[in-house]
């Protein structure tokens, strides 16, 4: 048996009203990838914060290579060979990669930083682990994946032996996730110990040696990955059976075209053609999934449909009416509800209370007003209570700021609000991003419910699994064109992946790969 490099014994952390960690005991072995799996709020990040010295435990002890240690701050843990890559990067965009990496431990004399030497060291580290980073590039010019690798380099440069990753794949696209997994395995093979926090089970299964499942602050079990499968892990994490795909679908009349895009093109002000002659019809009673690698025109298409942008050419009609020149508000009024991708940026005003957020965008509708100008508190309260019941929004009080709620409950606020206006069409953009499994299945159920009620649902998602689980039809977007529209019958992930890379579409494969 391998050496136990870290032992956590009886770690307990109590926050007002919540036991975040309840006597958690856990061993990490030298040179393994150990996954911590659990739903959002299960206590994974708290536990790692304690290990890393960000928080102090109320009870329990930490042993490093058999010796009891106490980390008062990350400074201590870094000195002991730990390193953490946070979910939100801590980089200075205007600095170069090297400058970011050596920040706080600059090489050279007291007055002058020896950049050439630092750059050499960074380059060497990058090559050693196959990270492919240019040390002199500016961080602001790097993609998210590359920025993440800079974070990894940062802790490697600090001679970390134990690497903690907090939900590292939440910000990555499927392709990037694969590459990221390769990097982790390479790090392990060179002798590093890795703790991987995630609730995405496919990745957990793919790369871990062992997995520990945490639910509601307690360890459910620790097992070698060979002894569990994804379905079992999901059950352990949630504590009950979870079914994806949104539940039962009823036969509905889906002959009527709701949203009709005809020969629609979009060119930016700089003259870049983002969308090419798009023809697409969304019917009542169907979920149309838009699949595609990120950045193939999704954002422009979404913005045109919701009214933030206007097409340069072609027509866009909703229930036969031209909406191509309408603004956000008008299109909303016509009966289009939008679930935006970024909850914090576009979906919610985080400092507003839950009930205020539940009327956002409808604040000028008669149903919430008295004398035509004043928001009627009673009606706003009633609306909030009703939606809280219908959508099971869990919060301490409806007066709490929305920012205090968990991601899943924040998403429920948005869905509840958009559905409350009884729209005829819903555009859902990455509606389950960053949510845990319980919340994902809830969101999917609501989408299917809307479909069953004869509404049209347009689903943009980067998760192939989700597209395949939920859609009735799938349209593939590639380089601003709809290259394929398929019925979701017997389609495999691999096939869809190929279409997404332009194979069998109008583009040839070489061009797709060299993109």
Q: Is 227 in the site for another protein (CB under 8 A)?
A: no
Binding of another protein at residue 279 (CB under 8 A)? no
For residue 59, the minimal CB distance to another protein (Å) is 16
- Tell me which of 4, 86, 123, 216 binds another protein, using CB under 8 A: 216
Query: CB of 363 within 8 A of CB of 375?
Result: yes
CB of 98 or CB of 420, closer to another protein: 420
Measured between alpha carbons, how far is 475 from 424 in angstroms, rounded to an integer?
Answer: 20
Residue 391 CB, shortest distance to another protein, in Å, is 10
Instruction: Name the token pair of 42.
Output: 């299960």
Residues 330-389 that bind another protein (CB under 8 A): 332, 338, 340, 342, 345-352, 356, 359-361, 363-364, 368-369, 373-375, 381, 385, 388-389
CB of 392 to another protein, least distance (A): 6
Other CB atoms within 10 Å distance of the CB of residue 511:
11
Applying CB under 8 A, which part among 52-60, 83-91, 255-263, 398-406 lies near another protein? 398-406
**Using rule CB under 8 A, residue 329 touches another protein:** yes
Q: Does residue 465 touch another protein according to CB under 8 A?
A: no
327 binds another protein (CB under 8 A): yes
* Cβ closest to another protein, residue 313 vs residue 351: 351
Extract the tokens encoding 93.
Answer: 């965009």
Handedness of CA 220, 226, 232, 233 (dihedral sign): positive
DSSP 112-162: -B-HHHHHHHHHHHHHHTT----TTSBGGGS-HHHHHHHHHHHHHHTT-SE
CA–CA separation, 87 vs 90, rounded Å? 9
Question: CA gyration radius for the chain?
Answer: 25
Does position 217 interact with another protein (CB under 8 A)? The reply is: yes
Please, which of residues 235-254 interact with another protein by CB under 8 A?
239
Q: In degrees, to the nearest 5, what angle opens at C-alpha 364 toward C-alphas 360 and 368?
A: 80
Tell me which DSSP letter residue 152 carries. H
Q: Cβ(277)–Cβ(475) under 8 Å? A: no
Residues 298 and 304: beta-carbon distance below 8 Å: no
- For another protein, what does the binding mask look like between residues 289 and 308, x meaning CB under 8 A? -----------------x-x
Which of 358/467 has CB closer to another protein?
A: 358
Binding mask 36-55 for another protein (x = CB under 8 A): -----xx-------------
Minimum CB distance to another protein smaller for 70 or for 394: 394
Binding letters toward another protein, positions 475-494, x by CB under 8 A:
--------------------
Helix axes 407-420, 437-452, angle to 10 degrees: 10
- The single residue among 406, 445, 486, 507 that binds another protein, judged by CB under 8 A, is 406
DSSP 268-297: -TT--EEEEEEEEEEETTEEEEEE--TTSS
Check if the beta carbon of residue 237 is closer than 8 Å to that of residue 39.
yes
Query: Tokens for 5?
Result: 């490099």
Binding mask 185-204 for another protein (x = CB under 8 A): --------------------
The smaller minimum CB distance to another protein, of residues 44 and 276, is found at 44
Binders in 433-462 for another protein, by CB under 8 A: 438
Least CB distance to another protein at residue 456 (A): 20
For residue 189, the SS3 value is helix
Would you list the DSSP string of 47-69?
A: HHHHHHTSS--SEEEEEETTEEE
CB of 227 or CB of 351, closer to another protein: 351
> Minimum distance from CB of 149 to another protein (Å)?
28
We find the least distance from the C-beta atom of residue 471 to another protein, in angstroms, to be 24
H or E element in which residue 475 lies: strand 473-478
**Residue numbers 97-156 binding another protein by CB under 8 A:** none
Among 70, 117, 159, 394, binds another protein (CB under 8 A): 394
d(CA 507, CA 495): 16
For residue 303, the 8-state DSSP code is H
How big is the site for another protein, counted in residues (CB under 8 A)?
49
Residue placing its CB nearer to another protein in the complex, 89 or 352: 352
Instruction: Report how far residue 60's alpha carbon sits from residue 52's, in angstroms, rounded to the nearest whole number.
Output: 14
The number of angstroms, rounded, from the C-alpha of 354 to the middle of its chain's C-alpha atoms is 22
Which residues contact another protein by CB under 8 A?
A: 17-18, 41-42, 216-217, 239, 306, 308, 327-329, 332, 338, 340, 342, 345-352, 356, 359-361, 363-364, 368-369, 373-375, 381, 385, 388-389, 392, 394, 396-400, 406, 409, 438
């Amino acid at each position: 048996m391998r050496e136990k490099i870290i032992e956590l014994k009886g770690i307990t952390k109590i926050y007002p009203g919540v036991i975040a960690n309840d006597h958690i005991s856990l061993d990490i072995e030298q040179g393994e990838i150990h996954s911590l799996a659990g739903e959002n709020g299960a206590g994974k990040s708290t536990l790692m914060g304690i290990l890393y010295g960000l928080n102090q435990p109320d009870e329990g002890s930490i042993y490093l290579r058999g010796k009891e240690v106490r980390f008062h701050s990350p400074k201590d843990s870094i000195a002991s060979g730990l390193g953490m890559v946070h979910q939100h990067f801590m980089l200075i965009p205007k600095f170069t990669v090297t400058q970011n990496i050596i920040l706080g431990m600059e090489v050279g004399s007291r007055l002058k930083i020896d950049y050439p030497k630092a750059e050499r060291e960074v380059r060497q580290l990058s090559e050693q682990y196959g990270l492919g980073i240019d040390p002199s590039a500016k961080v602001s010019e790097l993609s998210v994946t590359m920025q993440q690798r800079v974070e990894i380099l940062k802790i490697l440069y600090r001679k970390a032996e134990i690497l903690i990753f907090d939900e590292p794949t939440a910000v990555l696209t499927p392709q990037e996730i694969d590459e990221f997994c390769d990097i982790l395995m390479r790090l392990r093979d060179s002798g590093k110990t890795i703790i991987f926090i995630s609730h995405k089970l496919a990745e957990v299964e793919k790369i871990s040696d062992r997995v520990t499942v945490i639910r509601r602050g307690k360890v459910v079990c620790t097992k070698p990955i060979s002894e569990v499968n994804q379905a079992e892990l999901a059950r352990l994490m949630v504590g009950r059976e979870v079914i994806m795909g949104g539940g039962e679908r009823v036969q509905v009349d889906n002959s009527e075209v709701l949203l009709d895009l005809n020969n629609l093109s979009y060119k930016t002000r700089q003259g870049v053609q983002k969308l090419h002659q798009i023809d697409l019809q969304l019917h009542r009673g169907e979920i149309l999934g838009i699949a595609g690698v990120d950045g193939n025109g999704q954002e422009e298409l979404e913005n045109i449909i919701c009214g933030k942008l206007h097409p340069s050419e072609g027509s866009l009609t909703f229930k036969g009416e031209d909406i191509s020149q309408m603004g956000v508000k008008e299109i909303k009024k016509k009966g289009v509800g939008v679930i935006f991708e970024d909850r914090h940026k576009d979906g919610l005003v985080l400092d507003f209370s839950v009930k205020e957020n539940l009327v956002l965008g409808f604040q000028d509708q008669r149903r919430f007003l008295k004398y035509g100008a004043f928001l009627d508190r009673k009606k706003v309260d009633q609306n909030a209570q009703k939606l809280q019941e219908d959508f099971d929004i869990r919060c301490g009080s409806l007066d709490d700021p929305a920012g205090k709620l968990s991601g899943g409950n924040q998403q429920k606020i948005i869905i509840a609000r958009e559905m409350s206006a009884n729209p005829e069409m819903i555009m859902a953009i990455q509606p389950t991003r960053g949510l845990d499994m319980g919340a994902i299945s809830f969101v999917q159920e609501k989408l299917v419910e809307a479909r069953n009620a004869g509404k049209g649902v347009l689903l943009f998602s980067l998760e192939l699994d989700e597209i395949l689980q939920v859609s009735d039809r799938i349209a593939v977007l590639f380089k601003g064109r709809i290259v394929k529209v398929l019925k979701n019958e017997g389609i495999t992930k691999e096939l869809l992946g190929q279409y997404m890379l332009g194979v069998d579409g109008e583009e040839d494969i070489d061009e797709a790969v060299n993109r």
